Amino acid sequence: MGGERFNPSSSAYPTHSFGPNPSFPKIHNLDIDHLRAFTANGGQFEDCNLPAMMYDFRSDDEKYIQLEVWSAPFVGVGRERESRPSFDEAMKRAEWRNARKGERFGPSWSTHWFRITLRNLDQILPHPAADQHLELHFDCEGEGAVYTPEGLMLQGLTGGGGGDRRVEFILPEAWWSSSSSPTSTERIIYIEAAMNGMFGVPCGDQISPPDPNRYFELRTADIVVPNMTAWRLFWDYTIIADCARELGGWEGEKALGVATKILGAFRRGERGCLEECRDVARVFLGRRVDGAEVYRGEGGEGESLVFGIGHCHIDTAWLWPFAETRRKIARSWSTQIDLIKRYPEHRFTASSAQQYAWLKEDHSTPGGLYHHLRETIHSGAFTPIGGTWVECDTNMPSGESLCRQFLLGQRFFEREFGIRCRVFWLPDTFGYSSQLPQLCRLSGMKYFFTQKLSWNNINKFVYTSFNWVGIDGSQILCHMTPSETYNAQAHVGDLIRSVTQHKNKGEDPSSLLVFGNGDGGGGPLAQMLEKLRRCRGVSDTVGRLPRVSMGGSVDQFYERLEERTEEGKTLPNWVGELYFELHRGTYTSQAKTKKGNRLSEFLMRDVEFFASLATIYDAKYEYPKKEIDECWQMICLCQFHDVLPGSAIEMVFDDAATFHAQIWDRGQRMLASAFKVLGISSHPSKHTALAGVSTVAWPRTEVVEVEEKLAAGVDKSVVFEQQGGKKYVVLSTESTGVSRVEKKEVQQKGITKEVTVEEVEKGIFVLENGVIRVRVENGHVTSLYDVELDREIVAKNGKAGRYVIYDDQPLYWDAWDVEVYHLTGPRTYLDECTTTIVGEGPLRASLLVESKISEHSWIKTTISLDAVLSGADYAHKTTFEKALPMLNFDVEVEWQESRKFLKVEFPTDILCDTASYETQFGINKRPTHFNTSWDAAKFEVVCHKWADLSEHGYGLSILNDSKYGFATHGSTMRLSLLRSPKAPDAHADMGRHHFRYAMLPHRGNISQAAVVRAGYNFNNPLRLRYVPVQDEKFDGLRDLLKSIWIEGADNVVLDTIKRAEDGADVVIAAGHRPTTSSGTKTKSIVVRLYEAYGGKTKVKVMTTLPVVRATEVNILEDELSVVDHKRGRKDHVTSVAVDFTMGAFEVKTLKLELSW
């Protein structure tokens, strides 16, 4: 039919299947499992597979290595620095003895210095191949660092068997190569060995409290020659096997086939097969994966979607104390500096100015580690990031504290390295305040990075890249890495998730891959960089795997993202706080640390106010800038995101208590020094009179209790003495002013209505002052009644001020979490109590309520109501006619409970679907209902000095002096008081606590009732001090203290008055060298203010100081614009007015230059 004639022998395909190698169908799970054994370290088949060929030589023979040790005396907890001697101290004190492998060292947290003598190294590799070298492998199960005899730290070490293991130190070629003509046959290195692991010394589970008596074994101290071909094959195969498991499709099948061929080409013990195996691997990886040139390849299709950046998250304190963090920093960063030299594509970033400052303190000798760090930073390979003093919590620090985080951080980086950070970097903080976008922009940053919201346990956050808009309207460009970790291990899966988990790829699909061991430090390992090279090779050779790019900075990633999204215009917006749906217990855990924070913030506010005015009053007075900065540094340090939230070990909170005590002592000394200059004293004399001193920028009239240290010497004609010997005065002060205490008969005229208390029935008490009437039954407030308006505030049959104890057992994170199910679980109300009258008026009426919690725990609550005063806020009919007197609760608790949660609740007769909570420089509104899962997730939220529930025309605010956790469910408000978790601190919150809170009823809304001012007053009580009797001196003091004020604009708060950073005298006082920008003929005052209620307003800042120039500056005190100022004269007083407009919740900083 026209075709070729059939020839049965023309095909090679066999007629019968009788081959020697049978063919089986693919059994995928068996094939995949088979791949694991080839690179498995340990196990019964290790000697049959690749790990058996990783080293050509290993010896611990004394011919090559000799070990000696000096164990530093361990002085115990609380004296950590003494237990961690520096290199120089160790060399002076060391008494060396022989050491051996297998020896155990301890206890936990102790330090042991090893002197290692290396000899005859040139005999190990007399004729080395091009890529051969010698390594020292040292594993003491804990952390360590390698030092030269001159004291230069070369590299960190991490022992044990985890993924952060790093026990190898590459010996310099000059030490072992005969061609390098070594000058000595012996070399000495030192290793500082810390008896703690990367995550401390937990007793069992990672977050368990530390085991104080753990001992560590010296497992390895060997000289090793690695087989570099085997080492590279290990990472070739690792990535190919990863692709077989992760990629799927034909690419995954191809990876499986290549990996299987490698297994077939491998012959145990035959070195020549290793290169054959690598040739097989190159089919899948390409031929450039042994160097940085792989990133410059032309192969593959498409652009890079994943941008790798090396990172080392070091918790400034967590499962280890601050003192150990200082060593973690040096160990981690020295290692990265070494890696940067070996891997040209490696770019590394690290945050927290405090950590750089510690490294400077500990390693700043000429040619030391800090010197090498500066060189690496200037090369661009090591980048400081974040711009803050530490990676702080952002829920609880005050607005001014956040400003100081940025000010201290950015100025340190600029002073030390000549740079400012542009990316706010908080990968591990537990939620993000709604004012951060504004504060970032005012600190020179417009980019923000985190990933923590990927931990949400109720709702999945909806965006990857987006514009985050704060409550004032400011925005920053935010990226949350879709790999959902800041500790990526550079696996194939990390790259895949960087694309598959990207939530808005349509706008821009690129992402950051932040890789390296973290939390406890360490950072990237060499194998991570090797794996990324191979991942790039896969992308260029086979495809499917997202292309990774290396060598760029985080700033460059954000610049690219900004450009590709038309300056963010194509990205979605998220408005308001980034609420973290986990770790809600951190608003309450470690109450003493939280109280120390609040007290320190207000103390430093007052120190700067009085010290600033003292420099104006007396030119000889030196502004204590260095000490102020040191105190703020300690405050900011204790705001680290595992310290202030209360999620660290007990040693950390012992340190925090010490820091807060130092701040208090130093702050009081600085106040006393400024007071002395200003003529204010704590001690009476014939030339002084008792007076009240206020640092808030509005008038206030209050009943003030005379402190015990003042009461003994006070003039009886000016005090009211009540039951129990307590002494009180009625005191009115002007804005940031001072007012002498008048005679009792004068004070009496200011009392509109005295307060009374009466036991109307057994166990039922009524306190009344003519404006409100309070009924207390069995220790609870059953009625809070507005007499004039005929309005009840407490819900029908409700009990306000009632303590309730919940069971508190989260799913895992003990100190961190409180879960929603605690609200529906077992609870105990403290309804058994005794109540006695301890203050009968006329100025203050008080009840003492004593409640027993358990055999070892109790609460004593003093409930107080003051007389109605004619000058109080609620009497200012023209401005704050809606305010009412508050009901105060002064609480002392002995707390010895286990996994219990103490709250106090206030059922109200108020209906509103949102409640208001003070945040930094503003207000957050949150739902009081659980309509959606997003609403329900906010069952416990953070507040600052107050929370408020208001309906039209009426409301109730709950004030506090040191608490942050709150909840409003329906019409019931609850203030969180104490928790009792047992991990990682087994004694968290145990002991005695003192705190205050108050019920502040009000007519109208929170702005009409001056709730923000009430919160400041509650946290900053009027001070009683002695001031000059002489009218001229007193008038001068009074005029100085009230020399800056706001006229009108009652919604604007003057929060901070301080000296400018760049004044010549201030710069010198700080211990820095004056710059050309440091003024020489002027003194400058910085005034920070904010709009408090959420509305645009015109503001007039008034001052009697001799202003010659007024400028608006940012938080870093860079000049933004010149502001007009007008001089005027009224009532024989010359003043200057600075007029401007402020937006809703806007923060504004003015710099007033004074003639001098």
Task: Pull the structure tokens for residue 362.
Answer: 């500990």
Q: Cβ neighbours of residue 1036 under 8 Å, at least 6 residues apart? A: none
Looking up tokens 């909806």, which residue turns up? 462
The C-alpha atoms of residue 766 and residue 784 are separated, in whole angstroms, by 10
Structure tokens at 609: 């106010």
Cα distance between residue 1078 and residue 1083, in whole Å: 10
What is the pLDDT at residue 654?
Answer: 97
Residue 428: active-site member: yes
The pLDDT, as a whole number, for residue 883 is: 65
Show the beta-strand stretches assigned E in 60-160. Answer: 65-71, 97-98, 104-105, 111-119, 135-139, 143-147, 153-158
8 A C-beta contact, residue 1019 and residue 961: yes
- Break the chain down into helix, strand, coil percent, rounded to 5: 30, 30, 40
Spatial contact of 439 and 401, defined as CB atoms under 8 Å apart: no
Tokens 């409301």 belong to residue: 955
Kindly give, in sequence order, each residue whose CB lies less than 8 Å from that of residue 392, ignoring residues fewer than 6 positions away: 401, 402, 405, 426, 429, 636, 639, 640, 641, 644
Which tokens in the block code for residue 893? 């608790």
pLDDT of residue 79: 60
DSSP class per residue in 376-435:
HHHHTSEEEES-SSS-B-SSSS-HHHHHHHHHHHHHHHHHHHS----EEE-SS-S-B-TT
Q: What pLDDT score was predicted for residue 228?
A: 97
CA distance 666 to 404: 18
pLDDT at site 22? 65
With CA atoms as reference, report the closest residue to 87 among 142, 146, 169. Answer: 146
Pull the structure tokens for residue 712. 């003994």
- β-bridge mates for residue 140, sequence order: none
| Residue indicated by tokens 């039922």 | 764
> Exposed (0-12), middle (13-18) or buried (19+): which is 385, by Cβ within 10 Å?
buried
Nearest to 451 by CA among 383, 511, 499, 531: 511
The reported pLDDT for the residue numbered 878 is: 41
pTM of the model: 0.96
Residue 406 near residue 388 (C-beta atoms within 8 A)? yes
The helix (run of H) or strand (run of E) holding residue 204 is none
| 206/189 Cα distance (integer angstroms) | 33
Q: What is the 3-state secondary structure (H, E, C) of 698-732?
A: CCEEEEEECCHHHHCCCCHHHCEECHHHCEEEEEE
- Residue 4 backbone dihedrals phi, psi, to 5 degrees: -75, 155
Joined together, the tokens standing for residue 545 give: 């795997």
Distance CA 244, CA 29 (A): 11
**Among the listed residues 856, 816, 859, 871, the one whose alpha carbon sits nearest the alpha carbon of residue 835:** 859
Is-contact 897 943, C-beta < 8 A?
Answer: no
- Give the pLDDT score at 180: 58
At a CB cut-off of 8 Å and minimum separation 6, what does 129 contact? Answer: none
CA 590/CA 646 separation, integer angstroms = 5
Query: DSSP letter at 873?
Result: G
Would you give the end-to-end CA distance of the chain in angstroms? 117
pLDDT block averages, 10 residues each, the chain of length 1156 = 58 72 75 89 85 96 97 75 88 97 97 97 90 96 97 97 94 82 76 97 94 97 97 98 95 96 94 96 97 80 90 98 98 98 98 98 96 98 98 98 98 98 98 98 98 98 98 98 98 97 96 98 98 97 95 98 97 98 98 98 98 95 97 98 98 98 98 96 90 94 90 85 90 88 92 96 96 97 96 98 98 98 96 96 97 97 96 52 84 98 98 98 98 98 98 97 98 98 98 98 93 97 93 92 93 98 88 64 92 97 96 98 92 90 98 91
Q: What is the pLDDT of residue 877?
A: 43
- Report CA dihedral (365, 368, 374, 377) to the nearest 10 degrees: -160
DSSP annotation string for 313-367:
-B-SSSSS-HHHHHHHHHHHHHHHHHHHHH-TT--EEEE-HHHHHHHHHHS-STT
Question: Does the CA dihedral 349-351-353-357 come out positive or negative?
Answer: negative
State which H helix or E strand residue 638 sits in. none
Q: How far is CA 610 from CA 695, 704, 711, 1033, in A?
A: 9, 21, 24, 17
Give the pLDDT of residue 9: 58
Residue 800 has, within 13 A of its CA and on its CB side, a CA count of 32
Residue 922 C-beta-side C-alpha neighbours within 13 Å: 24
At 78 the pLDDT is 54
* Rounded CA separation 988/978 (Å): 10
Instruction: Report the candidate in 60, 64, 328, 315 with the shortest Cα–Cα distance to residue 192.
Output: 328
Helix (H) or strand (E) holding 253: helix 249-265
Which amino acid, 1066?
V
Q: Among 340, 425, 427, 332, which Cα is nearest to 377's?
A: 340
Residue 676 dihedral angles phi and psi, to the nearest 5°: -60, -40
3-state secondary structure of 468: strand
Scan for tokens 């060499």, then name that residue.
Answer: 526
* From 236, 315, 362, 428, the catalytic residue: 428
Phi, then psi, of 902 in degrees rounded to 5: -95, 125
**Distance between CA 171 and CA 180 in Å, rounded?**
13
Measured CA to CA, the distance from residue 583 to residue 393 in angstroms comes to 12
